[in-house]
Amino acid sequence: MCFIRLLHHHFINLYGGIPPWFGSSCLIVLLRRLCASVFTCSETPSSLVPIHSSASMANADSVSVRIFSLNCWGIRYLSKHCPERYRMLGQLLSKENHDLILLQEVWSEKDFLYLKQKLASSHLHSHYFKSGVIGSGLAIFSKHRIHDTFLYRYSLNGYPYMAHHGDWFGGKAVAMAVISLGSLTANVYVTHLHAEYSRDKDSYLPHRVVQAWELQQFIRHTSVGADVVILGGDLNMHPQDLGNRLLRSYTGLRDAYLETAKFDGCEDGITLIADNPFICKNGLAPFEKGIRIDYILFKGSPKTGIHCDSMSTTKGSVPNHPFPYSDHEALTAQLRLESHVPAEAGDDRQLKTHNFNAGNLAELVDIMTEARTEVKVGLHCAERMRYTAARTGVMGLALLFLELVIAAVPWLALGAEQPFPSTSFYLLAALCFAILLTTSLLYIFYTMEVKSLQGAEDQMRLAVGSLQEKLRGFHASQPLSDPQKPPEGPGPGAFDPEE
């Protein structure tokens, strides 16, 4: 299927994911760059951090929870030193005694079962989440009872013909486990989003934005009853990437690295370091030291306060071992949960999960507008690819028809006087059939991609309309409380929700 890959690269290389017929493409590229530069300048966007009043505590009851998260890079027979690394990991985990262990890229169930056996005495409860062709690669080990689990498969996850990237076959998903931590109910999530293979020409960006959108939807809607929400995983996004901002601002999840009282680990909290022997340094450019793409995020509830007392990452090499645990660094966070009777219970459903004020609501609307733009770029690209597949299919059909006509002419006119060029005939016919079959499959695949992107964009449009109405309500009720926001006019993220 090399020619499909060529076709794909053709678009990516020539137009950076945006076909030329897409009228406002230049505008969108500029918007993309602008937004990226605006949001990359500050590491701690204070207005995005949700408001959790810890002043309303009473009857404080403190619980401490240690969480571990690692992308294990566990592709059997392909990842280097895979069995040795799992042995090292098993030793570490059985010794360290974490409350929750959130693993990604455990592609083989055998490796999960090996870890389960190693942790049989320390972590009684575990779950391995299956999906896709290979699996989701997600696993949870817990010292505390897992009451319930749920898996949400992302609607988009790369392309099956990009087999060398392999993401499509992994059936990427977000897994949830409902776990009791003392008297508190914790919703624990683990996920792994589509990898970024090129930062400049990232053809998977719309897919990753849709995954981030679905991830925030899933967490927001399933965590309403939870006292504590914890998400660990390889998000494959830099701290200020669009999907990451969307996730944190809509759910109110807080980044353990940014919130921790003590930190011990790699500089700037990077989790994919240039010194790692398993990764290609050139792939990290222009980030000389490395990038931060693995996270532990958390939030409490009106009933429960949550704080990050300390956080650490592994720093590449492991003492007394020739190589590190994985191509990613492992994260450990020590969270402190404080259950208390809330001073006041919000009546609004939205408030149950996240306290919005006019400032972060306006910011969320802006982020969602940016996300919609990105999804639209992906949509136009997918529509173009589908059109190309259809056109190539029609050409294959025309070629087959032409061949049959050419073959029929000597057969009708000359009989058996001239030898029939059967070799060429059958080879050409086989080629036509191959083209027809491949383009049909591609057409079906791209149609599914188009539908998923359209669906996500529709849902974003609706949600942004609702948020804008809420924002107008804020402005109407508090005309003087937020001097930074203009009291009238369409505002930065304003557009017709039904456009």
Active site residues: 328
Whether the Cβ atoms of residue 174 and residue 193 lie closer than 8 Å to each other: no
In this chain, which stretch among 14-22, 289-297, 453-461, 479-487 interacts with a second copy, using CB under 8 A?
A: 453-461
Report the alpha-carbon distance of residue 361 to residue 250 in Å, rounded.
9
Q: How many CA atoms, within 13 angstroms, populate the side-chain half-sphere of residue 127?
A: 20
Q: Which of 222, 312, 355, 440 binds a second copy (CB under 8 A)?
A: 222
Q: CA 209, CA 235: separation in Å to the nearest integer? A: 11
387 lies in the binding site for a second copy (CB under 8 A): no
Q: Per rule CB under 8 A, is residue 132 in the interface with a second copy?
A: yes
> Is 138:173 a contact under the CB 8 Å cutoff?
yes
Report d(CA 262, CA 264) in Å as an integer: 7
Collapsed DSSP state (helix, strand, coil) of residue 491: coil
Exposed e or buried b per residue across 296-333, where buried means at least 16 C-beta atoms within 10 angstroms of its C-beta: bbbbbbbbbbbbbebbbbbebebeeeebbbbbbbbbbb
Q: Which of 108, 310, 357, 454 binds a second copy (CB under 8 A)?
A: 454
459 binds a second copy (CB under 8 A): yes
Least distance to a second copy, CB of residue 348, Å: 9
Contact between 133 and a second copy (CB under 8 A)?
yes
Q: Which range binds a second copy by CB under 8 A, 66-74, 192-200, 213-221, 397-405? A: 213-221
Cα–Cα distance, 492 to 46 (Å, whole number): 19
- Cβ 247 vs Cβ 212: under 8 Å: yes
Examine residue 108 and tell whether it contacts a second copy (CB under 8 A).
Answer: no
Using CB under 8 A as the binding rule, whether residue 84 contacts a second copy is answered as no
| 149 lies in the binding site for a second copy (CB under 8 A) | yes
Asked if residues 364 and 249 have their Cβ atoms less than 8 Å apart, the reply is yes
Which lies closer to a second copy via its Cβ, residue 88 or residue 389?
389
For a second copy, the binding residue among 14, 406, 408, 437 (CB under 8 A) is 437
Tell whether residue 355 is a contact of a second copy (CB under 8 A): no
Q: Report the C-alpha gap between 229 and 272 in whole angstroms.
A: 25
Part of the chain binding a second copy (CB under 8 A), chosen from 41-49, 222-230, 325-333, 359-367: 222-230
Q: Which of residues 414-433 bind a second copy (CB under 8 A)?
A: 422-423, 426-427, 429-430, 433
Part of the chain binding a second copy (CB under 8 A), chosen from 80-88, 130-138, 199-207, 229-237: 130-138
Nearer to a second copy by Cβ, of 283 and 455: the residue is: 455
**150 in contact with a second copy (CB under 8 A):** yes
- Residue 360 found at the interface with a second copy (CB under 8 A): no
- In three-state secondary structure terms, 296 is strand
Minimum CB separation from a second copy for residue 245, in Å?
19
Which window, 74-82, 171-179, 398-406, 409-417, contacts a second copy (CB under 8 A)?
171-179
Q: Would you tell me the crossing angle of helices 242-251 and 25-40 to the nearest 10 degrees?
A: 60
Sequence-ordered list of residues with C-beta below 8 angstroms from that of 320, at least 6 positions apart, any chain? none
Q: Does 249 bind a second copy (CB under 8 A)?
A: no
Separation between Cα atoms, residue 248 and residue 290, nearest integer Å: 22
Contacts with a second copy by CB under 8 A lie at 127-133, 135, 145-153, 155, 171, 176, 178, 185, 217-218, 221-222, 224-226, 349, 352-353, 422-423, 426-427, 429-430, 433, 437, 444, 447-448, 451-452, 454-455, 458-459, 462-463, 466, 469
